[in-house]
Amino acid sequence: MTTPVIIDTDPGIDDAVAILCALKSSALRVLGLTTVAGNIPLARTTENAGRILALAGADMPVVSGADRPLVRAPFAATDVHGGDGLGGVALPPPRAPARTDAVGWIARTLRDHPEGQIDLLVLGPMTNIALLLREDEDAARRVRRIVAMGGAIAEPGNVGPRAEFNMAADPEAAEAVFAAGLRLTLIPLDVTRKVRAGPCEVAELAASLREDARAAAALIEAYFQSTDGGEIPASRPLHDPCVMLFEEAPALFGCEDMHLSVDLSPPRAGGALLEGPHPVRVARRVDGSRALALLMERLMAP
């Protein structure tokens, strides 16, 4: 069984590793990448998405979306991802120009497929998905489910005491997506911090004969250089790849059904997850070593 997926993303070092993982998984068929402002501004997340596809020799569309959060000013994560979003790792230029209108493209793609077939894999702020719900809710309701990296449940946040970047960058969008009642699984920091790459994984990837595996090594190495409040420097959590690993191997994760809402307070406090009315399935546990082993298998694969 191959699941058709749309990846909504703000690459982003860990987004790049996640996209490479998805492209190499025979369980997933990536229909296209839609981009959003998040880790860095939209023009660069879009260019990076094209560069990642060029590296992987893949030809699906890249479609740019929202260049800012729904209501608040953007804040970026260049301290983690570098000014270019890829930690200075040079990837080949995009093979084709990106399209525009991610929301329209997602809606058309959902209508072109049977209802309940496509999964939306969300690796950045939820702005594009909130706009899809606002502009074409019927199309949005054709998704099978959304799997999104975001939030922190029983863990400290990474941009505020309880706030995680993707939620905090556009809390109003996350709240709108939670409130829509679509089938949604959230992969929070509680889980992603348990799937960590260290020097051994970098060395294994760097020794590969494959250019994309060596690029993954360089990306993870660059991630080591970044600052990310309180993270152990000897290894780095691979946040966004966990979405792909969940999509391919959900048995590696333990989920709970929770009721949540998103704190809409000012920046940095905003974005914390609160108990609330919206049903959300949340990954609470992961077999970190098996998840990392699966990721390595994918990144090393032809």
Q: Which residues form the catalytic set? A: 239
| Contacting Ca ion within 194-253 (CB under 5 A) | 240
3-state secondary structure 112-141: HCCCCCCEEEECCCCHHHHHHHHHCHHHHC
> Residue 34's Cα: distance from chain center in Å?
11
Q: Is 85 near Ca ion (CB under 5 A)?
A: no
What is the rounded distance in angstroms from the CA atom of residue 124 to the CA atom of residue 68? 12
Q: Is 123 near Ca ion (CB under 5 A)?
A: yes
What is the rounded distance in angstroms from the CA atom of residue 191 to the CA atom of residue 19? 19
Q: Distance of CA 53 to CAs 97, 114, 171, 297, 301, Å?
A: 12, 26, 29, 19, 16
- Least Å distance, CB 302 to ligand BDR, is 26
Helix axes 288-300, 241-248, angle to 10 degrees: 100
How many chain residues interact with Ca ion (CB under 5 A)? Answer: 6
Q: Distance of CA 196 to CAs 20, 211, 245, Å?
A: 17, 22, 13
Q: Is 239 near ligand BDR (CB under 6 A)?
A: yes
Q: What is the DSSP letter of 203?
A: H
Q: Is 190 near ligand BDR (CB under 6 A)?
A: no
Q: Which stretch binds ligand BDR (CB under 6 A): 7-15, 108-116, 130-138, 280-288?
A: 7-15
Of 166, 185, 235, 261, the residue at the interface with ligand BDR (CB under 6 A) is: 166
Locate tokens 């260290």: which residue?
198
Closer Cβ to ligand BDR, 80 or 131, answer by number? 80
Q: Is 65 near Ca ion (CB under 5 A)?
A: no
Q: Which stretch binds ligand BDR (CB under 6 A): 8-16, 86-94, 173-181, 204-212?
A: 8-16
Closer Cβ to ligand BDR, 166 or 185, answer by number? 166
Per-residue string for binding with ligand BDR, 37-66, x by CB under 6 A? --x---------------------------
- Report the C-alpha dihedral over residues 150, 156, 162, 164, rounded to 10 degrees: -30
Closer Cβ to ligand BDR, 107 or 169, answer by number? 169
| Strand positions, DSSP E, 163-267 | 184-187, 196-197, 236-237, 253-262
Closer Cβ to ligand BDR, 14 or 47, answer by number? 14
Closer Cβ to ligand BDR, 107 or 295, answer by number? 295
Of 8, 12, 164, 236, the residue at the interface with Ca ion (CB under 5 A) is: 12
SS3 206: helix
Binding site for ligand BDR (CB under 6 A): 12, 14-15, 39, 77, 80, 123-124, 149, 158, 164-166, 239-240
